[in-house]
Amino acid sequence: MKEFMQEAIDLSLENVVSGNGGPFGAVIVKDGKIIARGVNQVTSSNDPTAHAEVVAIRNACKILESFQLDGCELYTSCEPCPMCLGAIYWARPDKIYYANSKEDAAAIEFDDQFIYEEIALPIEKRKLFTKQMMRSEALIAFKTWGDSQDKIEY
């Protein structure tokens, strides 16, 4: 286990030294072997979702040809942010291990506390204007999905 976490930590440091992105790295392990790696690529790819964990999940899912990480473990150099934690839950690995805490990340100005606070607020009290519209039209796709015999549930 230590070697997998060390790899995630090494990736995070290499990413900073190379100038490719933030100090975050992640690896996904299956059957005792690293099957995928990811580093923060937000600034190098102009993709705000390209966090190390998300990149590693995408890479692992391609390798496994699956949208779930059953039987896998995720090692990440930092406690996952809210977005990554959501993606991790959707990917369904068996375990998550992390090194730095969210407080450590906040100390270098990667502070996600405001997102946790925003999620807890009623929609009308959030800082980002949000309004529901055209629900009845959108429900048609949900009903079609619910009635479909060909869907792949996830």
Give the Cβ contact number of residue 56 at 10 Å: 31
Active site annotation includes 53: yes
Active-site option among 3, 14, 53, 79: 53
**Which two tokens mark 104?**
């450590």
Distance (Å, whole) CA 91 – CA 99? 20
DSSP H/E element including 82:
helix 82-91
CB distance 61 to 69 below 8 Å: yes
Q: What is the DSSP string of 1-63?
A: -HHHHHHHHHHHHHHHHHTSS-S-EEEEEETTEEEEEEE--HHHHT-TT--HHHHHHHHHHHH
What are the residue numbers of the active site?
A: 53
